[in-house]
Every structure is written in C-alpha cells, then in structure tokens.
Chains A and B, each alone.
Chain A
Amino acid sequence: MQLIYEQSIDGRRGVRLPASDVPAALPLPAELLRKEAAGLPEVSELDTVRHFTNLSRRNFSVDTHFYPLGSCTMKYNVKATENGAALFNGEHPLLPLLPGGEPHAQGSLALLHGLATSLAEITGMAEVTTQPLAGAHGEMTGIMLIAAYHKAKGNKKRYVIVPDSSHGTNPASAAMVGYEIITIPTAPYGDMDLDAFRAAMNNEVAAVMMTCPNTLGLFNPHIKEICDIAHSFDALCYYDGANLNAIMGKVRPGDVGFDVIHLNLHKTFGTPHGGGGPGSGPVGVKEALVPFLPLPRIVKNDSGFILETTNPASIGRTANFFGNFGVMVKAYAYILLLGREGLIRVSEQAVLNANYIMARLKGHYDLPYDFTCMHECVFSASRQVKQGVHALDIAKYLIDQGYHPPTVYFPLIVKDAIMIEPTETESKATMDLFIQVMIQAAELAESDPGAFAALPATMPVSRLDETRAARSQQVCFAGC
C-alpha cells in the first residue's frame, strides 16, 4: 500500500477551517518564521478516509480475531464504556487548579475518586493514585514511592529483587529509580526459588517485585512467606498487577502483605489497547506510603472533592495532570457494569478458559511447568524445535489460519515459549477451533516441517527482514 505521502498532490486540500472573524495580524518576525511549510500530505478528505480505512484492514484485532496474546489480557472491550468516556471530552484539566475552579470539575474528580476507591477495595490497599499513564509508569511511580519511604526512614537501600520470570519492565523501572537489580532464578516448581531468595535478601534490599500469578501463569503459594521475609529486612513488597485478571475476589495483594501495587486498566478492566496504548497504571499503596503519593492528590471533604497540591513528603508530579482520564472513565464504567459478582466471575472464567486450553493442548506441546494454571498457560515448542519448527513458525501458521498468535519467546526462561491467555470473554466454540488449529500445527511440524518457512502466505506481506530494518534505520519517509 502506498504511504499517505506518496498520494500527495500539490495544492489538494482536505478539511476546511472556519473563516477568520478577526483582522489578520502582522506576521511573526522573519527570523522566527518557518522557511517552508512542513511536508504534510496534500490529500482530499476521501483520500484520508480510504487510506486509513484500508490500513485498518491490515490489522488483526480483538473485534475481528481471537487474540490470545499472553500477559496482555486481550479481552472484549465493552462498547458502552466508549460512550461514557465521550461525555467528558470537553473538560480542561487545568480547571480545578484555577482559583475557584474546583466546582467546575466535581464530576470528573468524583469519578476519579470513585474509581480509586473501587480499585483500593479490589486490591486491599489504603489509597490509589490514578496519575501513572501506563503499567510501566505505575511501576516506576511505585518504586519512587518505596524510595521515598526508605529515605524518610533514613534506610540505606541499594537493591531491588526481581524473579527471572518477571516482566522486563520490572527491572527496567527499578533501574530508572537508581536501584541495582538482583535477579532470582525460577525453581523447578515454577516460582521464584525460595532458598535463593532467602540467600539474596539483605538489609540493603529496598523492595521485592513480584507478579502473582507469575508470567508462567502460576500462583505462588509462598508469596506471604516472601512478603514476611522481605519485611523482616524492612524491604517493601511490590505487586505487579498485570495479571490481576486471574484473582479478582479471590486474593487481594494488600491482604497478603504487599505494600505497593500497580494495575493495568487496559488489561484487567477491559479498556481497549489501541494498537499499543493508551494504557493506564494506577498505583495503590498501604497507609505507610500514603504521604508520599504523587500530586495533585484528590481529597474528599465535606463540600466535595478538592486537590491537594502541596505536600513536601510527596514524590511530586509523575505526569502532567490526573492520568489518562478517558481510559479511567472506561475502567470505572466497566466496574459499574460488572459489579462484585461480575468481577469474580471474570476471574473464574478466565482461569477456566486457560486451564481448558492447557488440558487440551498438553499432549501436543511440551508443558515445562505442568501445574494448574491461572489466567494463562505457557507451552514450549521444544518438541517441534527438534523438527526445526520454532515458536515463531507456529505463530506464523496461526496468522494464516486467522488467529492472532499467542505471546512467543516470553517468558525468557522457557525455551521457545508459547504463552496463551484466552481471557474470559472467549467462547468454548472459539477456543475449540483454536485448539484444533494448534494441534494441526503440531502435526504439520511432524509431517512437513519445511512448510512453515513460507508462512504466513495470506497476509499483505510475508516474513519481514528485521535485520535489514535495524541496519538501515529507515524510521522516517525520505521521499516526496
């Protein structure tokens, strides 16, 4: 398909602006003026519509395809929540920060406060900030809160502990806050090696970051013990909430002993992933960390909701305003829709669906950690690799069959990992068809392993030369 720039014709116009109702101003001084207008496309409105509509058709998405991308919780995004978010499109975020402005944002502030209160109850935390703009941003915010806590107590801390199965964002977020990383291996039982963890623990450890269920989809029965050990060194426990979809109403990280948690609203709370974002990463904390929460902080008093804008203990602002508000409206709407029983059922059905796929595919793919899983299951293509067929080949086969592939090659600790997260919104019929296709892929790997190299064959492009992309670094169109 042509780039939009390649369709550009000099002088062609798109959307027209209103005529000016004020006199033309004197131009800017010449030294401040652009020599030449920026090289944006010159196309008609229909050109724009056709181009982006046709581009969209080159995507797989939840609304068009089964999308069992492990660790990303690609559930159905409820349409009515979009209508809800649109109600707030015209709200300027500075309004409540203006003198006399808070009355003009009471609804928006009430909504944020309501969402934060619900999330605190769901996770067992004392207070939630909605400011972080994505999961990784929440992690960084959470680790900053932990750093502030230690600083206030005069603790000298250097390290953050992460299991080797963690999301890459965990060590990356801790490193952004200046901590050194200690990585603990995974034991044969699929969780962080408890003995190795005990041996690594010391007084300079600031925090332990855990994902539970972890990226193998397993619930770690020792998490309370891990929290207790960490606390005995005055290290805090961080809960990566990326996999919360598995445990709503079953476990609350706060009850277990976790001190800080981030949530991914675009995963568990059903907001659309938008081809890479926007996400939203609210952070919940226990009472001891409340004083350090980012500003501005929404506080409820007798007359309504006000903003606390100064507090010397706070870590300060982590983003421009109150977070990805539009995303939060949808998450709030989702919680209203489902309610207590609905959220519990979400986790039960998500776990049921993952275990069903695991049970049905177990005979066809290696399952390096063969335990009851939570919301996702992780296979290895190691059996197929012996025939020269890798996880990536199986992924490409699935594309041709009309399935978005599972996450592959993650977690890094599983060779040729295939990480499948069906989510609760998929039907048995859809999963049965997917299982059938996965079995066919395993059979093809035995009967004709060479067939995979040419796949996918039904897409606008076949396998792309990634080495060439990295070497040539063409990240911006040079022509036209």
Chain B
Amino acid sequence: MSGADYCPSTPEEIREMLAAIGAADLEELFSPIPEELRARSFDLPAGISEFEMLDRLKALAQQNGAPLTLFIGGGYYDHLIPAVVDHLAGRAEFYTAYTPYQPECSQGTLQALFEYQTAICRLTGMEAANASLYDGATALAEAALMALRATGRSRLVIDGGVSPFSREVIRTYLANLDVEIMEVVPRNGGIDREALLEALDDATAALLVQNPTFFGTVEELSDIAAAAHEKGALLVVSAYPISLGLVKSPGEMGADVVVGDGQSLGNAMSFGGPSFGFISARKKLIRNMPGRIVGETVDGQGRRGFVLTLQAREQHIKRHKATSNICSNQGLCALKGLIFLTSLGKEGFRELALLNRDKAEYAKENLTAIDGVSLVNDGATFNEFTLRLPKSATEVVERLMAQGIAAGLPLGNYEPEMEECLVVTVTEKRSKVEIDRLADALRNELECIRF
C-alpha cells in the first residue's frame, strides 16, 4: 500500500473495537450521515512516502530560484537566528502541546509565556502584555478595537507612517463596524505632526502611529502622546522590536498600547509566517486586552506557579461579549522570541540594534553619494530609509532583481506621489561587500539611463 496514515490499528484490533461497540463494520459508524449527504467527489492523488514527499517539496523550493540579496523589509526582516532558538523551541514538549488549559501539567509553556510577557513589557516600556496575537498587522487592528472599547468612542486617527499593509488590515477589520477612520497623509516620508494633531478631536478613541515609520524615520512621540491624552484619546504605537535595542521605548514616550510583529525575534521569514504579534499596555487597560494572558499565583503549598488568567474576557466564556474572538495564538513563535532575546541578552540585543543601524548608515551614505539619489527625509532612521531616485523606482528594482538584488520596496503602488521613492532595508546580515554591490548596481543602473 502506498502512502502512510499514521493509524496504528491492525485489522484484528479494529474487529475487537467494533465488537466492543456492537457495530458490524466501520461503515455502520457513519450511519448517522444520511445517504443523500455523502460526498459527491473526493478526487485526490494516492499517498506517498515521506521520502517522495520531501523530493516533491524540494522541487517546489527550487522553483523559487537562487536566493536574492535582500534589502527589503516592510514588516518582515532577514535577521540572524541563533542555533539555540530552533533547538529549544523544537523540543517536542513545547512543540506538540496545546493551550495550557491544565496548568499543573503545562508549567513549562506557562512559565515561558510569563517570561515572554515580561520581556515584551521591558522592551516596550509597558506594564502588561498578553501571550501573543497573530501578527503585527492584526495586533494593530486589535489594539484599535481595544482603544474603542476602553474609551467608548468610535473614531480613530491613523498616521500615514503606518505600513500600508497594516492600514489595509485595519480597514478590513473595521469595515462593518460603525467607526470613523481618519487617515493622515504622510509628508516627506515622516510623521506630519501638524496634520496629526489637527486630526485629533474629543471623539477620537486612539491615535495609531508606527515607529520607526514605514519610511524608516525614527520619531520622538512625547508631544503627540501628550496631545492625544489631552483629548482623552490613547496613543497606540506599532514598534519594530529590534529598534527597541537602541530607541527610546514607546512607554517612555507616553504610549498607552504598544504592538508589533515578532518575526524579527528569532522567527524565520518563511514566506510571511508564522510569526507573532505582540501587544502590551498600561496596566489599567488589562481588562480590555484581547487574547490569552498568563498570570503568576501560588498553589496550596505556597509554591509559585502560572495560570491563564482573566479568562472572563475571552470567547470560550464570554462568547459574543468577549474582548476578541482570538483562541489559538502564535505561542510557539512567541517562545522563539523569548529564547532569541534570552540568548542575546541585555547587551547582545543592544549590540544587534547598533549593528543594524551602523550597516544602514553605511548604506545610506554610499547610496546617497550616487548622482541624483537623495533622502526623502533627513530625519534620524534605524535600519530602513527612503531614497528618491532620478527615475521610477519600480523600474530600477525590476532591473536589479535580474542581478540577484532585491534593492528595496518601491513606493509607487502604495503612495501615488512616491513613484520615484524606494525604501531600503539593511539588517545586520548584509555585509559591506553586499552593500557596496548594491551601490555599484544602482550607480550603473542610473548611469546607463543617462547615456
């Protein structure tokens, strides 16, 4: 027989079980299904062995072609992953367990998630975090819903520096709800403070900003936080976690809720998932948080232990009145995030952020030295920046792609005024040689236009 089914029962055992049930055959067990409801088709190929399956997948992976040198980010980043991350998160006791409903036999997962929540609070400068959400974009949408609940208001202001992908997800999430969304247009690839402050009013539940912005600028947000608070609105910040090794935390800047995508913390890019979304907040907002939360407590003998807590917010108890519908989250990816942060440690994580910025600054200097290439915004940046090219960035990227370089994300599809703009991402994985090669390729490309 070809294929596997991982069903261990022998024909003899099947007969014994049927006898215990009092059924003549397997088909009798399906007798509750009326004949007219039976499947009309089930047209799938025959099964194969694991060796043939892997050959099939290798062939598919090869169809993706040779790896490119990546100068793209846009929410997903090519970072180093220490070996311990996959070795430890790959422990079957973590990998093949589920949501820790029974705390006594799930202390491993529960303590790890408590440590994860602590790490997220410390990175973001917040007081409470949950055990993860799906990804950065949905986390921002959940934060928006959380702010709407917490304030009882129905208006959101979204800064233009928020990733267009995240903005789209928020629009999708809120399309059927009675919520007014005011999107502020980005100006020169940074936050338009004036427009943002003007958009705030007394009906605004929250102001949503991204830092660093989609264009790469790192912004000080204290004045924006103060202005939001003055109107009774919350400041929600979407942060890129690696930047928090250097940049002042959103908490220090006055944010009320912080979210982000945890992919860069020890999760492979894997064509977009799985990663995890994180969310943290001021403690007074904890009852409005979505998702699972792990809390510390003690057992009957006073020993410390961890449980899922504040479950009365959740769908399995509150049903349609729950703070969110989320059930499964991205627990294993959050665990990878924790192991990543632990293995680098306090100083290592700071060095990682520094390395990202140094590489990006080197690239920025070299790329802007090319004739006709300039920065859209001369504000401070972390590991991404936006260039203005003397021609369509779309064309340039397409031509460099043929040379094995993903040179950046051209903005024409996202911001109509920015057809000539390119967001370039430089992580610690890009070597000086690769950066120099990008500069050479871009210079050649732009020069050959001129002739």
| CB-contacts of B227-275 with A (<8 A) | 244-249, 252, 261, 268-274
> Is B68 located at the chain interface by the 8 A CB criterion?
yes
Name the B residues within 8 Å of A63 (CB-CB).
Answer: 92-93, 95-96
> In the assembly, what is the distance between CA of A324 and CA of B328, in Å?
13
Cα(A345)–Cα(B72), bound, Å: 45
Whether, in the assembled complex, A312 has its beta carbon less than 8 Å from a beta carbon of chain B, the answer is no
Given contacts A61-B92, A470-B295, contact A339 B99 (CB under 8 A): no
Interface of A is mostly: loop
Residues of B with C-beta under 8 A to A437: none
A381 vs chain B, min Cβ distance (A): 15
Q: Give every chain B residue within 8 A of A323 (Cβ-Cβ).
A: 272-273
Known interface pairs A315-B172, A372-B31; A34-B244 also in contact (CB < 8 Å): yes
Stretch at the interface among A66-74, A195-203, A283-291, A444-452: A66-74
Whether the pair A168, B329 counts as a contact (CB closer than 8 A) is no
- Which residues of B (20-63) have their CB < 8 Å from a CB of A? 20-23, 26, 29-34, 36-50, 53-54, 56-63
A372 to B33, CA, bound (A): 11
Q: Is the CB of A461 within 8 A of B299?
A: yes
Q: Could you list 11 A-B pairs, sorted by A, with CB under 8 Å?
A: A45-B343, A60-B97, A61-B92, A106-B64, A250-B30, A275-B97, A278-B274, A317-B137, A317-B165, A356-B21, A461-B104
A358 to B21 CA separation, bound complex (whole angstroms): 8
* Besides A178-B178, A371-B32, 5 other A-B contacts (C-beta < 8 A): A61-B96, A167-B327, A173-B325, A274-B335, A277-B274
B168 at the interface (CB under 8 A from A): yes
Query: Which listed segment binds B: A117-125, A229-237, A382-390?
Result: A117-125
Give the contacts of A302-342 with B (CB-CB under 8 A).
309, 315-327, 329, 332-333, 335-342
**Does chain A have a CB within 8 A of B292?**
yes
Check if B91 sits within 8 Å of A38, measured CB to CB: no
A344 & B268 in contact (Cβ 8 Å cutoff): no
With both chains docked as a complex, state the minimum distance between the C-beta of B77 and any C-beta of chain A, in angstroms.
9
Q: Contact between A135 and B328 (Cβ–Cβ < 8 Å)?
A: yes
Q: In this assembly, does B415 line the interface, its C-beta being within 8 Å of a C-beta of chain A?
A: no
Whether a CB of chain A sits under 8 angstroms from the CB of B118 is yes
Asked if A428 is at the interface (CB within 8 A of a chain B CB), the reply is: yes
Partner of A40, one of B128, B136, B252, B345: B345
Q: Return the contact of B332 from the options A14, A108, A274 (Cβ within 8 A).
A: A274
Bound complex: CA A60 to CA B106 (Å):
6
Complex Cα distance A249/B41, Å? 8
Q: Are B57 and A329 in contact (CB-based, < 8 A)?
A: yes
The A262-309 residues at the B interface (CB cut-off 8 A) are: 264, 266, 270, 272-280, 294, 309
Encode contact with B along A109-146: 1 for CB under 8 Å, 0 otherwise: 01100000010011010000000011111011000100
> Is A15 a contact of B135 with CB atoms below 8 Å?
no
Contacts of A338 in B (CB 8 A): 3-6, 47
Which of chain B's residues have a CB closer than 8 A to the CB of A5? Answer: 115, 118
Note all chain B residues with C-beta closer than 8 A to A360.
Answer: 20
Q: Does A273 lie within 8 Å of B104, measured CB to CB?
A: no
Rounded to whole angstroms, the CA-CA distance of A236 and B151 in the bound complex is: 34
Q: Which residue of A lies closest to B63 (CB)?
A: A107
B428 located at the interface, meaning its Cβ lies under 8 Å from any Cβ of chain A in the complex: yes
A15-B6 contact, Cβ under 8 Å, with A40-B119, A255-B37: no
* B21, B119, B268, B305: the one within 8 Å of A461 (CB): B305
- A200-218 vs B, CB cutoff 8 Å, 1 = contact: the mask equals 0000000000000000001
Name the distance in Å between B135's Cβ and chain A's nearest Cβ: 5
B-chain residues with CB within 8 Å of residue A374 when the two chains form the complex: 32
CA distance A343 to B138 in the complex (A): 33
* Chain A residue at smallest Cβ distance from B316: A168
Once the chains bind, are B50 and A78 in contact (CB under 8 Å)? yes
- Residue in chain A with minimal CB distance to B433: A21
Q: Are B271 and A252 in contact (CB-based, < 8 A)?
A: no
Q: Which residues does chain A contribute within 8 Å of B105, judged by CB atoms?
A: 58-60, 65, 399, 404, 456, 459
Question: How far, in angstroms, from A321 to B428 measured CA to CA in the complex?
Answer: 23
B222 to chain A, nearest CB (A): 9
